[in-house]
A and B are shown apart, each in its own frame.
Chain A
Amino acid sequence: MVPAEAKDHPILSDLTDEFDCSRFDCREVEDDEEVNSFFRTQAAAEHDAGLNLTRVLRFRNDRRILGFVTLSMGQVTLKRDGLNIHPVGCVHIAYLGIQREHKHKGWGTWLLAFAISEAVRLSSEIGCRGVGLHCRDGRRTWYEEHGFEWYGETEDSGGRLNKMFFDIRTEPITKPTDEEGAGPRGPA
């Protein structure tokens, strides 16, 4: 739901040293600790190095962090009727987190919607078919409730990761396969 007053809604800003990342805490389940760790210790450096791009959700005139999303480009292999299987580009959500006291207000949904809007925008300029991510089991249902499809598994040092994909096109016969990951980082 969009707040009635425009001044009441949050905006997205690039991550800069004006934000205090050290106090960010999105922990709701145990797996969220790795999201905290990334944001507190790695996000700014990776953003500055251009490895990915982190945007911070905040209210205007307020540097307190409501949440963040870290995006990069990824790749997923699609099966389509009549076409060869081949990898295509997508926006990859490397990490997404909402500060604890601001959870369950719909901000995470808006960050997902922003990632999807970026995929739609890029698709007019270069091959980009949707949004991919890897998530732990505890977050899979949430992403499915937001239109993501599960298409496989992988794992890292933290355990099992679910491969999820959101197809921005309406043609239905598109199936991501388990042959390629959506990107190198996770979990979202």
Chain B
Amino acid sequence: MALSDPIELKDDEARKFLRDLEHPVHSDKRAMMLKKAAEAAEWLKEK
């Protein structure tokens, strides 16, 4: 493959890797909030 060839994204992991390269902070924030969301569903229950 020549250096100029486009990168073919074959799976979600590859796409996530490229997204993290492009938007590392944003990706971290999303991951943090998704983790917190899983906790919130239980933590904020009234009963």
A and B part of one assembly: yes
Partner of B44, one of A12, A144, A168, A170: A12
A11 and B46 CA atoms in complex are apart in Å by 5
The answer to whether B16 and A172 have CB atoms under 8 Å apart is: yes
* Contact in complex: B37, A11 (CB < 8 Å): no
CB-based nearest B residue for A168: B34
Cα distance, A156 to B32, chains bound together (Å)? 32
Complex Cα spacing A2 to B36, Å: 10
CA distance A113 to B34 in the complex (A): 7
The one of A11, A113, A147, A173 that contacts B39, using a Cβ cutoff of 8 Å? A113
Decide: A171 and B33 in contact? CB cutoff 8 A.
no
Segment of A32-40, A97-105, A115-123 engaged in the interface with chain B: A115-123
Q: Using Cβ atoms and an 8 Å threshold, which residues of chain B touch A151?
A: none
Within 8 Å by CB of B36, from A57, A110, A145, lies A110
> Is A167 an interface residue, CB under 8 A from the partner?
yes
Please provide the chain A residues from 69 to 103 with a CB less than 8 Å away from any CB of chain B in the complex: none
A14 CB to closest chain B CB (Å) equals: 8
A152 within 8 A of B: no
A172 lies within 8 A of B18 (CB): yes
Residue of B nearest to A60 (CB): B46
User: Closest CB of chain B to A110's CB: distance in Å?
Assistant: 6
A147 with B44: CB separation less than 8 A: no
Partner among B19, B26, B37, B46 whose Cβ is within 8 Å of the Cβ of A117 = B37
Contact of A147 among B12, B18, B33 (CB under 8 A): B33
Shortest CB–CB separation between residue A47 and chain B, in angstroms?
16
List residues of chain B with CB within 8 A of the CB of A168.
Answer: 34
Partner of A166 from B12, B33, B41 at Cβ < 8 Å: B33
Question: What are 7 sample pairs from A and B whose C-beta atoms fall under 8 A apart?
Answer: A9-B43, A113-B40, A114-B44, A116-B33, A117-B38, A147-B33, A171-B12
Give B contacts to A, CB under 8 Å: 9, 12, 15-16, 18-19, 26, 29-34, 36-41, 43-46
Closest 4 CB pairs of A and B: A172-B19, A116-B37, A113-B40, A147-B30
Binding site for B on A (CB under 8 A): 2, 9-13, 57, 109-110, 112-114, 116-117, 120-121, 144-147, 149, 166-168, 170-173
